[in-house]
Amino acid sequence: MKTSLLFLLSTLLYWPISAQDSSKNWIETEAKITEIHNNIKARGTRSFATVSYTGEDGNPYQSRVELLAIPFIGTLKSVNDTVTVYYDPTNPTLAKSPETSFLQSYGLYLLIGAGILISLYNFRKKLGGDTA
């Protein structure tokens, strides 16, 4: 039971949601991080990076994208790191990051659900043990 739950959570960590909502016309490219902005609050942590990249037309562009953030810490990326971004060829300054994962979006709900399931399992096990 515990192994299955850990497998499910680790699988969902690497399942990118953004691949489902990325427009088919957007172009994937590598971008260099020039600045990082961590927004750490009690209700959540969000990290943004200012990135620079070269468009298909050969012109340099700069945009801001969201990075994967660890609660109360921020991102593990650093300035001058390279990240993958998608940009709109009709407006190359509009970019987004594919790093947003299912676990990042719904991780808290999954952890609460897992806690409830484990608690119910242990409660049921305890009740079963007392009546025997």
Q: Which pLDDT score, from 0 to 100, does residue 79 have? A: 94
At residue 50, φ and ψ (nearest 5 deg) are -85, 125
Q: What is the pTM of this model?
A: 0.57
> Quick one: pLDDT band at residue 102, thresholds 50, 70, 90?
low
- The residue-averaged pLDDT of 31-53 equals 87
Rounded CA separation 1/118 (Å): 9
Cβ pair 88, 94 in contact under 8 A: yes
Angle at which helix 2-13 crosses helix 102-131, to 10 degrees, equals 170
Rounded CA separation 77/81 (Å): 7
62-82 pLDDT tens trace: 999 988 877 777 788 889 999
